[in-house]
A and B are shown apart, each in its own frame.
Chain A
């Protein structure tokens, strides 16, 4: 185990009833890394995120965050879900501030950063809007800002763009890269989309079908910032084929 690992999972297993959902799953995520997890449906990707965050407890093996075992929900992590799950009675900035208020810090102290994040995410002019007045893509940007507000040591993203249409989804991917380039948080990113994984991450962990374990660890050596041009890069195509083969062969 490396000292710098933000997350290290060692032989993690998870049983639901009689079903082994995850088995002997091990990986590490280092400081400032953007790591994607891909795999067939139902292989336990979301469960892995929940175990890493401490929201769920593995039935075997150990997860460590910054070297100490995760026994309860992490206190300085943040999660972005497939649905934006904003609070309908709060405006954009107040929704972003929720994480600060939950930590028990005065909202006023974070207002400036919340505004800055909103601008960074392209929400300028929508700071005083209620969630129902925003498009799906904008709502998800708000939820990303909310997750980034306290500069979490680990940002967990569970198919954050899964509910968006293809065009918005691609645009949001590049947006996320831009935001991440500015903040450099450690990210663990679950996705179904191979191209999304390649475009965003430094490393792709491919999971096997149920019971899930890490099958391959594929480094993505493409230069940043990646753009629509990257899609034409022959190395992109090769990587996509490699990842696809890894997912499909058992």
Chain B
């Protein structure tokens, strides 16, 4: 299928779902607080656009700050387990145990420790994003054909040159893949953080909608969140296109 047919198929199926939703809700007179029709959501979305933007900006800031921290710390930890043999046996089991704790479950604890500001939200976003980035970066740094490393050594390659020209380049696509998973996870962290405490962010707007039985507002928030997520994933895709073009052409085959 070429791009145009693919796009029109996607748009057509989305259109059919929306029309069916609108028709069924009206036909069976479903109350708006249970399930609003798409038209009501759309209307609410535009009515509340400025407050939506204000709140998603806060959520975006905490999400991206947490994600950036997860990227830096995840890659650093991956470097540690790749290069420091004795630490590998400490870091890996600790990480596995840590990953066994549902991070959402410690969210109330984070509010107790760090208050109602941005900090616990950033921390939750960081904690949720960290694991996939660390695991993928560690895999990308170490899963290299041993022959390549041997060849590099025989040409006089130092560890640093092998890292820069081979390991890091090998890890980039793994890290890009991890970002696509870590970004929505970090967003989950930020929004859950907002649910639990504070008075800012798109999570708080959802809660106020729910509290006032303003279900169209809740749905309008979901639309905003979806747009934000798409932009984030799109940014990673642009990075791939610009820096990892070889990989896209490899995939097309």
Interface of A toward B, CB cutoff 8 Å: 53-55, 73-79, 81, 83, 85, 87-89, 98-104, 130, 132-133, 146-147, 150
Contacts and interface: CB of A to CB of B under 8 A. Distances in A.
A83 B145 contact: yes
Contacts of A53: 150, 154
B169 A132 contact: no
Contacts of A81: 147, 151
B10 interface: no
Contacts of A54: 154
B153 A73 contact: yes
B246 A130 contact: yes
Interface string B146-188: 0110111111111001100110011000000000000000000
Contacts of B162: 102
A68 B246 CA distance: 43
A53 to B, nearest CB: 6
Contacts of A89: 169, 244, 246-247
Given A87-B169, A89-B247, A78 B156 contact: no
16 contacts: A54-B154, A55-B150, A75-B154, A76-B156, A79-B154, A83-B145, A85-B151, A87-B166, A88-B247, A101-B161, A102-B157, A102-B165, A103-B157, A132-B249, A132-B250, A150-B155
B239 to A, nearest CB: 14
Contact of A88 (B150, B154, B250): B250
Nearest to A130: B246
B27 interface: no
A85 B148 CA distance: 6
Contacts of A75: 154-156
Contacts, number: 74
A187 B154 CA distance: 15
A83 B162 CA distance: 19
B253 interface: yes
Contacts of B155: 75, 78, 98-100, 102-103, 150
Given A79-B150, A79-B154, A101-B165, 9 more contacts: A75-B154, A75-B155, A81-B151, A87-B166, A88-B247, A102-B161, A130-B250, A133-B249, A146-B151
Contacts of B161: 101-102, 104
A118 to B, nearest CB: 18
Nearest to A74: B154
A77 to B, nearest CB: 5
Nearest to B161: A102
Contacts of A73: 150, 153-154
Contacts of B247: 88-89
The 9 closest A-B pairs by CB, nearest first: A102-B157, A102-B155, A99-B155, A103-B156, A75-B156, A73-B153, A85-B147, A102-B152, A81-B147
